[in-house]
Amino acid sequence: MKSDRPSSGIDRRVLISSLALLPALSGMPFTAIAQTQAAQDSTLGSWNDGPAKQAILDFVRATTDRASPKFVPSEERIATFDQDGTLWVEHPIYSQVIYCLDRVPAVVEKDPKLKNVEPFKTVLSGNRDAIARLSMHDLEKILAATLTGMSVEEFNAEAKKWLTAAKDPRWKRPYTDLIYQPMLEVMQHLRSNGFRTYIVTGGGQDFVRTYSEHVYGIPPEQVVGTAGGTKFGYHKDGKPFLTKEPKLLLNDDKAGKPEGIHLMIGRRPYAAFGNSDGDRQMLEYTGAGDGVRLMMLVLHDDAKREYAYGPAQGLPASKVGTFTQALYDEAKKKNWTVISMKNDWKRIFAFDQSA
């Protein structure tokens, strides 16, 4: 029996109850369409119109529209993001290195004979110039002493405590406030289109995992980073635990990035974001896949709102996040998109209300 009433053919209660069964839909209002429209208008809201914003929108459309010849099945939608300098401030020094330096007094308290041993002695002196001159070898000693030799739980607790208390000297805010709002919006846009977003960082995997979920919405299992081994053992009461060991398993930088992606994900990304020569191989590996791929590099060219350093395009050189002219040239040649923080981003941080 036919009827012209709009409700014909559907039992509304069944439909509503069906919706309630689906976790992804819990709380989803029936005005979804209007909201989706509004969401589209505010997609990438902190981006100025221009080629960078357009490249993101075009890529998502081409890979998720079933009618597109470049359509990518949802299980293959992987996007990888470098962290330092791509998702948050890295200049003048990586936040995790500050964490390690801040941990030195506690390490020395536990092992007092280190007090007069370099490089710990220099760190304890508080002499900023001397600390800045520490060699990579010295730094590695500090990283090993402050990041290993404790249980995973102890490390997590210390890192979380520090992240709550420590503040960046320029902005006087927790380091986790110094996330680039436009990049959060890219991750959200990708995720709402079925992409899984991964961090692929030269930073410590365990360190980044302590805050990635609440800061980026990226769960620990989607953080690939420089990783040391752990050692399984038992407490006196028989309870097992893992100790962080000073044994490098994955140096997740440069060629280590595609190698880490293969180890931890086992799929080639469709989109990759970086900001330095450390990300070159990840972008090359991403770009070598078939179909449409998105490769983007953040260029720090905004001395006023953040920092300006290169040496790409004649910007002053920096000890961190080196974006060489060679990388810039490769990006241009391969049609990777260079994001100008100055021109492409309306605002840099969520707390920045000037935009």
- Pick one of 1, 33, 67, 165: the residue that binds a copy of itself (CB under 8 A): 33
Contact between 21 and 262 (Cβ < 8 Å): no
- Pick one of 48, 176, 188, 230: the residue that binds a copy of itself (CB under 8 A): 230
Contacts of a copy of itself in 275-304 (CB under 8 A): 281, 284-285, 288
By CB under 8 A, which span of 89-97, 130-138, 178-186, 226-234 interacts with a copy of itself?
A: 226-234
Residue 239 touching a copy of itself (CB under 8 A): yes
- Pick one of 242, 292, 315, 342: the residue that binds a copy of itself (CB under 8 A): 242
Alpha carbon distance 167, 159 (integer Å): 14
Nearest to 83 by CA among 214, 216, 174, 251: 216
**Least distance in angstroms from the C-beta of 248 to a copy of itself:** 10
- Pick one of 6, 112, 126, 314: the residue that binds a copy of itself (CB under 8 A): 6
Q: Helices (H) and strands (E) in the chain — how many of each?
A: 15, 7
Closer residue to a copy of itself in complex, CB, 108/283 = 283
Residue 15 touching a copy of itself (CB under 8 A): yes
Q: How far is CA 343 from CA 48, 51, 53, 180, 348, in A?
A: 7, 11, 11, 14, 11
Closer residue to a copy of itself in complex, CB, 15/106 = 15
Alpha carbon distance 45, 186 (integer Å): 10
Residue 11 touching a copy of itself (CB under 8 A): yes
Residue 68 touching a copy of itself (CB under 8 A): no
Alpha carbon distance 347, 248 (integer Å): 38
- Looking up tokens 């990006």, which residue turns up? 331
- Pick one of 1, 2, 5, 126: the residue that binds a copy of itself (CB under 8 A): 5
| Tokens representing residue 134 in the block | 């520490």
Contact between 342 and 301 (Cβ < 8 Å): yes
**Least distance in angstroms from the C-beta of 121 to a copy of itself:** 33
First to last CA, the chain: 59
**Least distance in angstroms from the C-beta of 282 to a copy of itself:** 10
Contact between 105 and 158 (Cβ < 8 Å): no
- Pick one of 168, 213, 302, 352: the residue that binds a copy of itself (CB under 8 A): 213
Closer residue to a copy of itself in complex, CB, 106/152 = 152
Closer residue to a copy of itself in complex, CB, 197/318 = 197
Helix axes 95-110 and 152-165, enclosed angle (nearest 10): 120
Residue 264 touching a copy of itself (CB under 8 A): yes
Closer residue to a copy of itself in complex, CB, 27/314 = 27
| SS3 state of residue 341 | helix
User: Rule CB under 8 A: which residues touch a copy of itself?
Assistant: 5-7, 10-15, 17-18, 21-25, 28, 30-33, 36, 74-75, 152, 194, 205-206, 209, 213, 219-221, 223, 227, 229-232, 239-242, 249-250, 255-256, 258-259, 262-267, 281, 284-285, 288
